[in-house]
Structure 1
Amino acid sequence: MTEVSKKDLRREILAARESMSPFLLAQTNAELAEWMYRLPVELTADDVVAAYVATGSEPGGTAMLDALADQGLTVLVPIVPEGGPARLQWGEYRGEAALTRRRWGLLEPIGRRLDPDTVHRARLVLVPALAADRRGARLGRGAGYYDRTLAVTDVPVAAVVGDAELLDGPIPQGPDDVPVDWVLTPGGGFVPTR
């Protein structure tokens, strides 16, 4: 798959997501939230999970974050730093009401910004993806924020995608792309990779 076809794949997936009905998106997010009670790593209350705040038709929604917090877990969500692509900063998720729109219209937590190295405290990282394959290759939006962040940590990572976005065929990876350990889909749960 060439870089042009990766761009085409991104465009195709984004178009499919945008055409998804609000009902189907809500159902997808509810199913993903249920999987938060069956995580692929053993956690106890007060453990840390790094996740993300879904935007638009991206799978996940705040229901997924609320399900994690419901278990007594500390949930970190990203804050995009100023300037060009760099490692993500973090903030603690304290409910949907404690989020505000910031750079690029993304919802980010109100309160203290935590250093990029805060992700090392996590026992699991849930990352957004446009697609992922069964080898652990993840197709993001192309800016590399997550790859820069994950390259310096050995925390287990799960990419969250829709059912049709888990691909059998390989997604090519460059030298800076960080593979994931699981792919989470609403219908299939956590699928191990590699």
Structure 2
Amino acid sequence: MRTLKDQRREEAAKRRSTMSAAARERAAEDLAEWIHTCPFRLEYDVTVAAYVPVDDEPGSTAMLDALLDRGVTVLLPVVPDGDPAPLDWARYTGPASLAPGRWGLLEPTHDRLGVSAIRAASVILIPALSVDKTGVRLGRGAGYYDRTLVGLSAELVAVVYDEELVDSLPAGDHDVAVSWVLTPGSGFQELG
């Protein structure tokens, strides 16, 4: 049975599929630029967890490189084998440190640091299909991030295109809310 969340996911995927490559590239450049005006402290002793965008997800490795330019340690997820579970993590040191992993996703080639490595992050940039103004994030539905983010004290930032910040989304008991959103047009915005 198709749920309201499934319907919203389909709508977001359809909307993204109509974006031109030029519009996605421009959005990726804008997101990378916003890293330089981030409202959070990003210095040499800070760890930021992020993701490598795939297909039509917002962002690019330029956003990750902007984080490296700030001097922070950047962690990227490694999808574990088997059923959905908390994500493993490894360091990102540049595009050359990436290789295809599970499902063809680009993952760091450095040593895995374990699922608890995320606890070192003070800011976590999270992919989303949509996010609402109260912080409800709509992901792809497997629950990897919800399993990973539960109980963390980091600033949770959903990264979406401008039109994907909406008034409301359906939420489940297991969903972990975010407190910030990052969009190409408006940058970092606090939610709630």
Whole-Å separation in 2 of the counterparts to 1:79 and 1:3:
29
Whole-Å separation in 2 of the counterparts to 1:166 and 1:35:
17
Aligned residue in 2 for 1:189:
187
Whole-Å separation in 1 of the counterparts to 2:67 and 2:174:
29
Residues 54 and 60 of structure 1 are in contact (CA less than 8 Å); yes or no, is this contact kept in structure 2?
A: yes
Structure 1 residues 118-173: Cα deviation after superposition (integer angstroms, max 9, x where no partner): 111111000000000000000000011001110031111000000010002x1121
Aligned residue in 2 for 1:56:
55
More deviation in 128-137 or 4-13? Answer: 4-13
Residues 131 and 166 of structure 1 are in contact (CA less than 8 Å); yes or no, is this contact kept in structure 2?
A: yes
Aligned residue in 2 for 1:121:
120
Whole-Å separation in 2 of the counterparts to 1:181 and 1:39:
14
TM-score, L = length of structure 1:
0.95
Whole-Å separation in 2 of the counterparts to 1:85 and 1:160:
21
Equivalent residue letter for 1:130 = L
Aligned residue in 2 for 1:85:
84
Aligned residues: 192
Whole-Å separation in 2 of the counterparts to 1:193 and 1:42:
18
More deviation in 178-187 or 36-45? Answer: 36-45
Could you tell me how far 1:18 is from its partner in structure 2?
Answer: 2.0
Structure 1 residues 12-56: Cα deviation after superposition (integer angstroms, max 9, x where no partner): 211221222111111000000011112222222231100000001
Moved over 3 A (4+): none
Whole-Å separation in 1 of the counterparts to 2:151 and 2:79:
17
TM-score, L = length of structure 2:
0.96
Alignment of 1:1-194 (within 5 A): 4-168=3-167, 170-194=168-192
Structure 2 runs not aligned, ≥5 long: none
Residues 124 and 156 of structure 1 are in contact (CA less than 8 Å); yes or no, is this contact kept in structure 2?
A: yes
